[in-house]
Amino acid sequence: MTMLQESEWEHLRHSPLLPEIVENLSQCLRDEKARRAQFYAEMTPEQKTEFIEGEVLMHSPARNAHLVATLNLATALKIFLSNHPTGGRVRVEKCLCTFPRNDYEPDVVYFGPEKARTFSAEMMRFPVPDFIVEVLSPSTEANDRGVKFVDYAAHGVAEYWIVDADRRVLEQYGEREGRFELLTKTNNGTVASIAIAGFSVDVGAIFADV
């Protein structure tokens, strides 16, 4: 997780400009909160949009390789949950997940039973998922590996998969010894989830029928 180093924090804490810095940041957050409220008021179920660092991002249609990988993973997880009921729920693509500052629409998400019990038919804003998959595309890779990675690690996502449909590679991230880091990177074999007990997937099957 990217945070201020202790030396950077101490430098900031002792700066004579600290009051001005705090006020500028506070005003920035107030302005961002107003834009976020407008985003919620104007969003529609037809759009695929995200709210990241004060900006509304509109997403274009996905490539075939992206769609196939997303569908295969979501289907595998759905079948697993049908055979091994956990009380959790899987959702895909246009599921708007609300984090403290940002709103994302990951490609595949899983919510454990406690969060799933809060769902309603008209719900359009969802809590932080327990498991997230992002399938890379050229326009989203920087955010998938950047702000989203930091946000997911900092705010309770137990497991994060990054899928590269072009290279046919799966990267699995999760907590190890108190750090959110890469656990597995592979283009073959089976990867077992750490957040969803018993769930595993054959990496080759993710890219079948592309």
**Segments making up each domain of the chain, as ranges:** 58-206
Cα distance between residue 81 and residue 88, in whole Å: 8
Ranking 2-16, 60-74, 99-113, 150-164 by mean pLDDT, the lowest is 2-16
Q: Class of 58-206 per CATH?
A: alpha beta
Task: Say yes or no to pLDDT of 8 above 90.
Answer: no
Residue range 92-112, pLDDT digits in tens: 989 999 999 999 999 999 999
Strand, coil or helix: 163: strand
Residue range 120-162, pLDDT digits in tens: 999 999 999 999 999 999 999 999 999 999 999 999 999 999 9
pLDDT at 132: 98
Residue range 36-49, pLDDT digits in tens: 999 999 999 888 99
> Could you write out the DSSP letters of every residue in 45-95?
TT--EEEETTEEEE-PPPPHHHHHHHHHHHHHHHHHHHHS--S-EEEESS-
Instruction: Share the mean pLDDT of the chain.
Output: 94
Question: Can you give the pTM of this predicted structure?
Answer: 0.91
